[in-house]
Amino acid sequence: MTMKRSKWGALAAVGVLVMAFGWLIYGGLDSNVVYFLTPKELAAKGVEGMDKPVRLGGQVKPGSVVWDEKALDLRFTVTDGTSEIAVHSKGAPPQMFKDGQGVVIEGRYGKDSVFKSTSLMVKHSNEYKAPEKGERPSEMYKSLMKSSGS
């Protein structure tokens, strides 16, 4: 009799675990997923894409950056080459942020057609160039600053 009881107990425990995983996959997880979209994909969603957590990826449109240093207020346009989305971000931008730079922005697309950023990340090349023999890192830093327009 004890063996039957422990067998049913084990089956009940497995059943509870399967139901818990099912709830996480179909119910609880879906509301916590943040999708990655391009400006074209977000614009295509229309009203359905508004006021939901999204990661928006693209490039900063050259000439669109408006930075208020005193208010820490950043406004720019992100594009994927076909569509554009206006972005508003509070706080200082990353150091490598500039016109034409690849960015990933987390936030929500508002009914006013402005993407409100909660996090701004700069995408950069994954290429690494080792210093030449005898070259000092400080010299490499100067060349980076010249190429970024600073």
Low-confidence ranges of the chain (pLDDT < 50): 143-150
Q: Is residue 133 part of a domain?
A: no
Residues near 67 by Cβ (< 8 Å), separated by ≥ 6? Answer: 73, 74, 75, 93
Alpha-carbon distance 150 to 142, whole Å?
10
C-alpha count within 13 angstroms, C-beta hemisphere, residue 82? 7
User: What integer pLDDT is reported at residue 15 of this predicted model?
Assistant: 87
User: What integer pLDDT is reported at residue 40 of this predicted model?
Assistant: 94
Q: Is residue 108 part of a domain?
A: yes
Q: Is residue 22 part of a domain?
A: no
The dihedrals phi and psi of 117, each to the nearest 5 degrees, come to -85, 135
Residues near 66 by Cβ (< 8 Å), separated by ≥ 6? Answer: 74, 75, 76
The answer to whether the CB of 85 falls within 8 A of the CB of 43 is: yes
Q: Is residue 143 part of a domain?
A: no
Q: What angle do CA 18, 36, 112 make, to 5 degrees?
A: 120
C-alpha count within 13 angstroms, C-beta hemisphere, residue 10? 6
C-alpha count within 13 angstroms, C-beta hemisphere, residue 120? 25
> Which domain CATH number covers 68?
2.40.50.140
Q: Give residue for tokens 């936030």.
A: 107
For the chain, the domain total comes to 1
Q: Is residue 79 part of a domain?
A: yes
Q: Is residue 68 part of a domain?
A: yes
E strand spans, the chain:
35-37, 53-60, 66-68, 73-79, 84-90, 102-109, 114-123
- pLDDT tens, residue by residue, 10-30: 888 888 898 887 777 766 655
Tell me the residue range of the domain where 42 lies.
Answer: 34-123
pTM attached to this predicted model: 0.65
Average predicted confidence (pLDDT) for the chain: 82
User: What integer pLDDT is reported at residue 109 of this predicted model?
Assistant: 93
Q: Is residue 24 part of a domain?
A: no
Q: Is residue 74 part of a domain?
A: yes
User: What integer pLDDT is reported at residue 18 of this predicted model?
Assistant: 87
